[in-house]
Chain A
Amino acid sequence: AQSVAQPEDQVNVAEGNPLTVKCTYSVSGNPYLFWYVQYPNRGLQFLLKYITGDNLVKGSYGFEAEFNKSQTSFHLKKPSALVSDSALYFCAVRAPMDSNYQLIWGAGTKLIIKP
């Protein structure tokens, strides 16, 4: 079955340190990959997506993600964390043979940035 895994329920990082939020997937074919962020009492906000081309994708708020086909991963990264980055992060994947509307979602990772 096709799936997305975010192996860490929570990630704690000190402000100013680099952060990584992990995402691995299991889908057929070449996937389309997305990251979203959800702040408390808000909807999901789009951060970035990988469609094709350069494996390193840059997105909003200084975030970037690297597509690694051999490891079937799409980890979200930021060189220097801010307290305001504390939020819930979701990885999502669209398998190329799936409906245009169906995304496979991870369960989310809570990111806590400590001052």
Chain B
Amino acid sequence: ETGVTQTPRHLVMGMTNKKSLKCEQHLGHNAMYWYKQSAKKPLELMFVYSLEERVENNSVPSRFSPECPNSSHLFLHLHTLQPEDSALYLCASSRTSGGPDTQYFGPGTRLTVL
């Protein structure tokens, strides 16, 4: 799992806190993704960046704010979250060839909102 790394691996925060999740990819890819994974549900795509430009934003609440400073790094800034936001947050990366590129995932950040 050294291709895509995520920190922290676990995060507990109160509803009034502000925190950030970090993702870094070492695969030379130029697209990066944030997903939310909840138990027994399909993965939910939150945001996609391609060549550092946001290309997908799937109706995600504004309390989640992504940032992609370069093609290797992706952040998810969190503020005033709700308990239902507790989940595993996965980062992924891929090429952008225009075809069915494989997405490669990090280990995830387990987020608990109290």
Q: Which residues of A contact B (CB under 8 A)?
A: 4, 9, 32, 34, 36, 41-46, 49, 51, 90, 92, 94, 99-108
Contacts and interface: CB of A to CB of B under 8 A. Distances in A.
Nearest to B50: A101
Contacts of A90: 43
Interface in B1-46: 1, 4, 6, 31, 33, 40-43, 45
A44 to B, nearest CB: 4
B1 A51 contact: no
Given A34-B102, A105-B43, A108-B40, 14 more contacts: A9-B40, A32-B100, A41-B107, A42-B107, A43-B90, A43-B105, A44-B43, A46-B104, A51-B100, A90-B43, A100-B98, A101-B45, A103-B45, A106-B42
Interface footprint category on B = 20 to 34
Given A99-B56, A101-B55, A43 B107 contact: yes
Contacts of B98: 100
B105 A45 contact: yes
A23 B63 CA distance: 34
B45 A102 contact: yes
A44 B33 contact: no
Contacts of B61: none
B101 interface: yes
